Amino acid sequence: MGDREHHVIRVLESSISEEVVVGYGYKESEAEMRRRIEELKREVETTDSTSTQCIDRVPPSLTGICPEAIEPEIVSIGPHDPDMKLLEFESYKLQFLESLLCRERNEGGHDLLGEYYKAMISLEKRTKSCYSENITMCCHDFVGMMVLDGCFIIELFLQMSKTSDVGQPILRRPGLVPIVTRDLLKLQNQLPFFVLEKLFEISSLGTEQLLQMRMQPGEVEHLLHLFHLSFRPQFDMMITSNYAPNSNHEYRPSSESIQCTTQLRPSGIKFTPRRDAESFLDIDFRNGVLRIPPITINDLAIVVFINCMALERCHQYVPQHFTAYIAFMSGLIDSTRDVRLLCADGIITGFPLNDQNVAEMITKLGEQVAFNIRDCYLSKQFRDVEAYYSSHWATFMRTYFSRPWSFITVLTAFTVLLLGGIQTIMAILSYLQKK
């Protein structure tokens, strides 16, 4: 009996000891967790007031579509790891910097390189906070990159805007211009716009009119964002789409966005190029006619689509206009036959890509679309096209006129009925005359 009591006491002591240890560990973990939460709060409060993170990595789902559309081909902008193919272009950047400084001296000013460096030093921390990735460059190299890349972009735009500068390095080689243009529109290859604004403000080249046209702070994040802003759909289209949910009570959403071109044509829908559009985003559908602005699907278009879609996905404040456009076009294009039909209508040009390449690229882009059809600028077009396709007239057209032999069958049946009716009428008239 004594042994049993001693055994019970020993178990209780062990349990109490374990509770004390566990309790102590729990309280210690709780305190550590609270400390980390407080640190996070302080970090968020600090970064929220100063951080302007706007230059992100392209999401992996978009990277796999076309890797060449993500990384710079010849010119790097912003902090990048050393790459021999990119380092070759650094000498061009130096030539552009020298050309910009010469412009300033010729305009009666003085060498502003020192002022550029002073201004960029003051913007170093703010600039670093714009990048989603950790910057490994030392402060000296980072500031030098800001000056060199920023001045290169400014001088490039100045040269391209003046016909007198056609003899400059890049303009002497027309093949470089499209490549440089593509590189400047890649999300991972950007410099904050306020850096360019500051450099341009310091230079003596900005006229009073241009300086007054500067964007409001925070309105433009970088060149890709500025490009995106310049392709806003027409205002009336956006207003119409906002009120569109009540405009068609017969609309019933299907499992797919819209049918492909091959399916829509037999329904009586006509396709025509909209040549009066201000932007290729301005798609219109009225009275069974789908009007789409002509577009060339080439390397530049692919870069624009992927990077603008990435920008829209990474930042909620950016309207998803390009995503909606790709969703609409990927619905229309499901095969090479669809591409050929749209090419025949003058809507798509695939040079230098063939029909198969265009179909595959649009399909891949469409597979990565994630958005709400009811909440986009093309919501009315989505609904109206599908409603037209689902209408009784369109069903009749698809059933009886989608194939030549269907039309012949209907025509034959109608002719037989007509002739039969005529014979019946003639027989009745003949009978009445005899009486």
Predicted pLDDT at 246: 44
Confidence of residue 20 (pLDDT cuts 50, 70, 90): very low
Convert the pLDDT of each residue in 384-394 to its tens digit.
999 999 885 54
- Say if residues 123 and 195 touch (Cβ distance below 8 Å): yes
Instruction: Tell me what the mean pLDDT of segment 361-375 comes to.
Output: 89
Predicted pLDDT at 209: 46
Predicted pLDDT at 362: 95
- Say if residues 380 and 283 touch (Cβ distance below 8 Å): no
Predicted pLDDT at 106: 74
Tokens at 121, concatenated: 């030093």
Instruction: Name the residue ranges covered by the structural domains of the chain.
Output: 1-50, 61-229, 235-397, 403-434
Q: How far is CA 158 from CA 97, 196, 202, 261, 435, in A?
A: 12, 13, 15, 43, 98
Tokens at 124, concatenated: 């170093």
Predicted pLDDT at 343: 96
Whether the predicted pLDDT of 21 surpasses 50 = no
Letter for the amino acid at 279? S
β pairing state of 289-292 and 284-286: antiparallel
Confidence of residue 347 (pLDDT cuts 50, 70, 90): very high
Greatest pairwise CA separation for the chain in angstroms:
136
**Higher pLDDT pick, 238 / 4:** 238
Q: Which pTM does this prediction carry?
A: 0.77
Convert the pLDDT of each residue in 133-191 to its tens digit.
989 899 999 999 999 999 999 999 988 877 556 556 677 777 888 999 999 999 999 99
Q: How many CB atoms lie within 10 A of CB 323?
A: 23
Predicted pLDDT at 110: 78
Predicted pLDDT at 350: 77
Alpha-helical runs (H) found in 110-207: 113-122, 124-128, 139-161, 176-184, 193-202
Instruction: Tell me what the mean pLDDT of segment 30-55 comes to.
Output: 72
The Cα–Cα gap between 41 and 430 comes to: 101
Lowest mean pLDDT among 127-136, 176-185, 228-237: 228-237
Whether the predicted pLDDT of 357 surpasses 50 = yes
Whether the predicted pLDDT of 112 surpasses 70 = yes
CA dihedral of 12, 17, 23, 25, whole degrees rounded to 10: -150
Confidence of residue 250 (pLDDT cuts 50, 70, 90): very low
The Cα–Cα gap between 153 and 160 comes to: 11
Confidence of residue 27 (pLDDT cuts 50, 70, 90): confident
* 335 phi/psi in degrees, rounded to 5: -160, 175
Predicted pLDDT at 50: 46
Confidence of residue 115 (pLDDT cuts 50, 70, 90): very high
Predicted pLDDT at 241: 57
Whether the predicted pLDDT of 416 surpasses 70 = no
The Cα–Cα gap between 237 and 380 comes to: 9
Predicted pLDDT at 80: 87
- Say if residues 146 and 198 touch (Cβ distance below 8 Å): no
Instruction: Tell me what the mean pLDDT of segment 244-258 comes to.
Output: 48
Is residue 295 helix, strand or coil?
Answer: strand
Predicted pLDDT at 45: 60
Predicted pLDDT at 255: 41
Convert the pLDDT of each residue in 290-329 to its tens digit.
999 999 999 999 999 999 999 999 998 899 999 999 999 9
Instruction: Tell me what the mean pLDDT of segment 259-284 comes to.
Output: 94
Convert the pLDDT of each residue in 65-109 to its tens digit.
999 999 999 999 999 887 888 888 999 999 999 999 998 777 766
The shares of helix, strand and coil residues in the chain, as percent rounded to the nearest 5, are: 65, 5, 35
Confidence of residue 407 (pLDDT cuts 50, 70, 90): very low
Predicted pLDDT at 395: 60
